[in-house]
Structure 1
Amino acid sequence: MPDILLYALLLLYLLGMLFIFIYSLAQGHLLFSFLKAKKNLGKTTPNKPSEWPQVTVQLPIFNELYVAERLIDAVAKLNYPSDKLEIQLLDDSTDRTAELILQSLKNYPDVNFKYIHRVDRKGFKAGALREGLNVVEGEFIAIFDADFVPDPDFLLKTIPYFSADDVGMVQTRWTHLNEGYSLLTKLQAFALDAHFLIEQMGRNQQGAFINFNGTGGIWRKSCILDAGNWHDDTLTEDLDLSYRAQKKGWKFVYRPEIESPAELPPIMSAIKSQQFRWTKGGAECAVKHAKSVLKQKNLPLQVKFHAMAHLFNSSIFIAVLIVSLSSIGVWFLGEKGLLSDQWLRFAAIFLIGFVLIALVYLLSYFYGKRSFFRSFAEAIFVLPLFLSVSMGMALHNAQAVWEGLTGKKSPFIRTPKFNLEGKKQSLKSNLYLSFKTPVTTWLEGVFALIFSFMVVLAFKEENYLFLPFHAMLAFGYSLVFYTSFKSYALGRS
């Protein structure tokens, strides 16, 4: 490999590491803000309103045979004055889900259910929410996806936080119905807990932009309308509306003590479907909002910094992919003796970033755990495994981010739901599994072989410069490839 190419790869490696380092500084600052917010958590509680307002609960549904009944049963148990509560079933289903819903509604003749079925899926979820908003009775709008099981006291707990007229949205913390189902669900919970504790609490504590998470939250109707209603030009309509509303001055409130239980995707093909939508939609929102946020004069520099880190956080996968591939060239530079010890000392600074990111995940993992020592022992196992799988997802997610940044459009693909803990079905009988194995899955298998070869080469040449990194990449890509291929094969069986 020519030396000029190796030095070009070194430059790419340094640029990628710089991006990761800057992102880690933002995460470290959020961690600091989280610790401050945690001290004040629960010290003040809002007063209940003298009169409970009219509320509409919107339930966007599309082909949810396995969870629709569970959702209806849960929202029917919401504790709220019956004359002030409306529940909209926004059903875009094209299968037997529509019949199942109508049959289930017969069990609750005294609950104010409104069934709205669209002939087409124009605008997908955003379009369904927008159409439902045209005929809502409530001045506050709670939203739950089909895989959620709302707390019966959700409305009683959240409505009091709208005592100030400028509060536009209250978001609650997702918890997990099936966290212990498999290794994949445990790793997802590990990642989501960091977002819902460190990131959401940290941003909210310092007055930075936070996001409605698409479900498990409640909006003031006038806020939605003032911000321009739901748009369907990105795959993350929730993040898009959140930024439009907060740019107009609306305040958001995040309450981690109010829990909204939900199902985690149990197989890799479903995880990838969800991850693709989240990462691509995040990149689309970055293109849509970054420039206007930077130009807004009334926003402090700190808020703008965290907004950029928030909007571009999915770009971390492009950086990880670049660093992973370019590290091979850097390894060969070291093998040829073209790397000085001074460069290695300089590069070690970037390791601070990985320490900060690790702390974010570790502290969120310890949150609420009863036994520190048991949790610490579990974390020693879970953290490197999570980081390995996250790096193994870099190729798949980097493709999604690149499409979002470059403006390539794709349809809203729902994440298949399973309700395995409810024993409604088995994995093999799920009708919504994807049948096609994408090219990226095969490339993940190739990457697993490449980084495994680099691990073998490190021992052969006694050059251990990237051994831990390449070993984690080899394991991460191998696990992602295996679980992906297995889940796609499951859909074909």
Structure 2
Amino acid sequence: MHPLVYALLQFAFFYPLIMAFFWMSGGLYYFFRRERKARDRHDPPPLEHYPFASILIPCHNEADNLEDTLGAALNQRYPDYEVIAINDGSSDDTGVRLDALVLQHPRLRVIHLDRNMGKANALRMGALAAHSDYLVCIDGDAMLESYATHWLVWHLTSGPRVGAVTGNPRIRNRSTLLGRLQVAEFSSIIGMIKRAQRVYGRIFTISGVIAGFRRTALHRIGYWAEDMVTEDIDISWRLQLDHWDIRYEPNALCFILMPETLRGLWRQRLRWAQGGVEVALRHARALLSWRSRRMWGLLLEYLFSVVWAYTMATILVLWVLGRFIPMPPQLYISSVLPHWHGVMLALVCLAQFASSLIIDRRYETHVGRNYFWVIWYPVAYWLISLLTTVVAVPKTLLKPRGKRATWVSPDRGIR
């Protein structure tokens, strides 16, 4: 076997193995150090004073979700807050329903934008209209748990350098295999990664579906970028490049809808992958300065994930070619089916799921019932991750610069 092919195979195996142990160790350290004996989420730590807070909800064609989302936002166990819904050029009856709801709820304010200008612009308009320096931003289909605002504001008021807090999204729709897989993914992968990144010092991305911000920090960096496909990744990197602290609060729960079709999942993950490429390209020069050295680990982690995706793609291409045309022995790959190394990866994957179950049962008592389906996770998500990354890199490089990122209604699952 050619040395380069051998190196590719070794990297394809060892990278996910090492990263799994990296996330498990960091996630479990976070749990035993900060969560195991922490307060119950329904008994958040008291504040010396309760500053006014603003909940921002950008909406585009959210008529079907408004009552659930606004009902949860208006039912927060927090003494002093407002809810601002930003109707960003909806083509359905979102605007009409918001106008009816604002007459029923004195805490609710509505901003109407005449055309689709994108989520980043909607959030910016909401932030400028807010009466508070503490902003809780959620998506138009998200349902905040009743104490979520309290937990987020508690972090933002705990130190002058806390610029943002990311919450803990939970999946609402679980009627299909894809839905159940995403329950496991958000707890055992995304939640564990955020815990580990918090331990190691920098968080790759705030969850755009639920996050708290200090408006002063947003003002310093110019608010959300309107030409980025994923405004949440970009705002996370820019805040940390400006030396603001970003925290993770697992008690700040938010229940969300996720895609339950392969097409919807592909579109969502391709957008996420493209957003990562955009951010890395835009901030590469700033990241290489000595002042940004604390971000180097995050950048290296991301670059290795891109290299891994292209490595796996190369291996698959060589294997497919070997099925149809004669290949030199040095480049011939006999099989991509798992052998002993595949069994090892599967065992490590199950260990990661078991670790996350220990952590996550604190937030969902019956979350373990969804772990029967995680055996399909490596096939479903490692494959879609490498494919979306491979597609996202050239797509981002060919994207016109400065093009505004407008709303595209996502797949919200099977109704």
Q: 1:137 to 1:272 in 2, by over 3 A?
A: same
Deviation at 1:182, TM superposition (A): 0.8
- Counterpart residue identity of residue 352, structure 2: V
Q: After the TM superposition, which residues 334-483 of structure 1 pair with which residues of structure 2 at under 5 Å, given as runs?
A: 356=348, 359-365=351-357, 367-369=359-361, 379=371, 382-393=373-384, 394-396=386-388, 398-405=390-397, 407=399, 411-416=405-410, 418=412, 426=415
Q: Is the 8 A contact 1:12 1:326 kept in 2?
A: no
Q: Is the 8 A contact 1:56 1:141 kept in 2?
A: yes
- Counterpart residue identity of residue 128, structure 1: A
Q: Is the 8 A contact 2:12 2:312 kept in 1?
A: no
Q: TM-score, normalised by structure 1?
A: 0.71
Count of paired positions? 398
Q: After the TM superposition, which residues 116-155 of structure 1 pair with which residues of structure 2 at under 5 Å, given as runs?
A: 116-122=111-117, 124-155=118-149
Deviation at 1:26, TM superposition (A): 3.6
Q: Is the 8 A contact 1:28 1:357 kept in 2?
A: no
Q: Is the 8 A contact 1:172 1:255 kept in 2?
A: yes
1:79 corresponding residue in structure 2: 77
Q: 1:400 to 1:137 in 2, by over 3 A?
A: same
2:316 corresponding residue in structure 1: 324
Report the RMSD for the aligned CA atoms in angstroms.
Answer: 3.6
Q: Is the 8 A contact 1:283 1:311 kept in 2?
A: no
Q: Is the 8 A contact 1:315 1:401 kept in 2?
A: no
- Counterpart residue identity of residue 101, structure 1: L
1:209 corresponding residue in structure 2: 203
- Counterpart residue identity of residue 52, structure 1: Y
CA displacement, residues 249-296 of structure 1 (integer Å, 9 cap, x when unaligned):
111111223321112222222222211211111111121224422323
CA displacement, residues 206-261 of structure 1 (integer Å, 9 cap, x when unaligned):
21234211121111111111222111222111111111111111111112233211
Q: Is the 8 A contact 2:119 2:407 kept in 1?
A: no
Question: Distance in 2 between the 1:226 and 1:20 partners?
Answer: 43
- Counterpart residue identity of residue 96, structure 1: D
Q: Is the 8 A contact 1:172 1:216 kept in 2?
A: yes
Correspondent of 1:99 among 87, 96, 99:
96
Pick which of 25-34 and 146-155 moved more: 25-34
Question: Distance in 2 between the 1:362 and 1:377 partners?
Answer: 12
Pick which of 195-204 and 17-26 moved more: 17-26
Pick which of 405-414 and 168-177 moved more: 405-414
Deviation at 1:349, TM superposition (A): 7.5
1:167 corresponding residue in structure 2: 162
2:30 corresponding residue in structure 1: 37
Q: 1:414 to 1:20 in 2, by over 3 A?
A: farther
1:177 corresponding residue in structure 2: 172
Question: Distance in 1 between the 2:28 and 2:179 partners?
Answer: 27
Deviation at 1:202, TM superposition (A): 0.3
Question: Distance in 1 between the 2:389 and 2:22 partners?
Answer: 25
Question: Distance in 2 between the 1:235 and 1:385 partners?
Answer: 29
- Where does structure 1 lack aligned partners over 5 or more consecutive residues? 1-5, 421-425, 427-493
Q: What SS does the aligned partner of 1:212 have?
A: coil
CA displacement, residues 296-345 of structure 1 (integer Å, 9 cap, x when unaligned):
34635xx52233314664665444333222233567999986689xxx9x
Q: 1:237 to 1:133 in 2, by over 3 A?
A: same
- Counterpart residue identity of residue 69, structure 2: L
Q: 1:377 to 1:403 in 2, by over 3 A?
A: same
User: Is 1:309 equivalent to 2:285 in the alignment?
Assistant: no
Percentage of identical aligned residues: 20
- Counterpart residue identity of residue 385, structure 1: W
Q: 1:311 to 1:196 in 2, by over 3 A?
A: same
Q: TM-score, normalised by structure 2?
A: 0.83
User: Is 1:233 equivalent to 2:227 in the alignment?
Assistant: yes
Deviation at 1:121, TM superposition (A): 2.3
Question: Distance in 2 between the 1:415 and 1:26 partners?
Answer: 33
Q: Is the 8 A contact 1:18 1:350 kept in 2?
A: no
Q: 1:102 to 1:312 in 2, by over 3 A?
A: farther
Q: Is the 8 A contact 2:86 2:110 kept in 1?
A: yes
Question: Distance in 1 between the 2:6 and 2:407 partners?
Answer: 33
Question: Distance in 1 between the 2:283 and 2:271 partners?
Answer: 18
Q: What SS does the aligned partner of 2:293 have?
A: coil
Deviation at 1:24, TM superposition (A): 4.5
Question: Distance in 2 between the 1:350 and 1:385 partners?
Answer: 13
- Counterpart residue identity of residue 237, structure 2: Y
Question: Distance in 2 between the 1:250 and 1:63 partners?
Answer: 33
Question: Distance in 2 between the 1:61 and 1:176 partners?
Answer: 19
Question: Distance in 1 between the 2:369 and 2:73 partners?
Answer: 38
Correspondent of 1:158 among 120, 132, 152:
152
Question: Distance in 1 between the 2:103 and 2:367 partners?
Answer: 46
- Where does structure 2 lack aligned partners over 5 or more consecutive residues? none
User: Is 1:285 equivalent to 2:311 in the alignment?
Assistant: no
CA displacement, residues 165-189 of structure 1 (integer Å, 9 cap, x when unaligned):
111111111112123x111101122
Question: Distance in 2 between the 1:239 and 1:376 partners?
Answer: 30
Q: After the TM superposition, which residues 14-33 of structure 1 pair with which residues of structure 2 at under 5 Å, given as runs?
A: 14-15=7-8, 18=11, 21-22=14-15, 24-33=17-26
Q: What SS does the aligned partner of 1:48 have?
A: coil
Q: Give the structure with higher Rg (CA).
A: 1
1:69 corresponding residue in structure 2: 67
Question: Distance in 1 between the 2:282 and 2:304 partners?
Answer: 11
Correspondent of 1:271 among 265, 268, 284:
265
